[in-house]
Amino acid sequence: MTKSVLIEKVAEKVEGLTRNQTEIVVDTVFDSIKKALMSGDKIEIRGFGNFRLKTRNPRKARNPKTGESVEVPGKKVLYFKVGKALKEALNKG
């Protein structure tokens, strides 16, 4: 599903909002999630799942082509844990 399709689906469900107004709402939700994650907060959407950042430590790795040892810097990665209701809905059937 693309962002445009999501905006269309929300616009269909919510009467009285134009497509442009719906786009502002969707953008605001995404911006809020992004800002919360950037400040280190955890996002919990009950029935859907949790988003949070995890920090990967720097490590040594090996270049498979040359066999040379290389340093891989630490970084932050986004982690998503599916919620119970969504997990059950996906596994029905």
Q: Which residues, 6+ apart, have CB-to-CB distance to 23 below 8 Å?
A: 7
Tell me if the pTM is above 0.85.
Answer: no
Query: Half-sphere exposure (CA, 13 Å, Cβ side) for 5?
Result: 2
Q: Tell me, what's the pLDDT at 58?
A: 96
The range of the structural domain enclosing residue 28 comes to 1-41
Residues in the chain with pLDDT values less than 70 = 93
Q: Tell me, what's the pLDDT at 55?
A: 94
Tens-place pLDDT, residues 26-42: 999 999 999 999 999 99
Q: Tell me, what's the pLDDT at 93?
A: 60
CA proximity to 73, closest of 81, 82, 64, 61: 61
Whether residue 66 sits in one domain with residue 50: yes
- Decide: helix, strand or coil at residue 86: helix
Tokens of 43: 């996002």
Question: What is the count of structural domains for the chain?
Answer: 2
Whether residue 59 sits in one domain with residue 30: no
Whether residue 50 sits in one domain with residue 11: no
Whether residue 30 sits in one domain with residue 51: no
Whether residue 91 sits in one domain with residue 46: yes
Tokens of 11: 């616009």
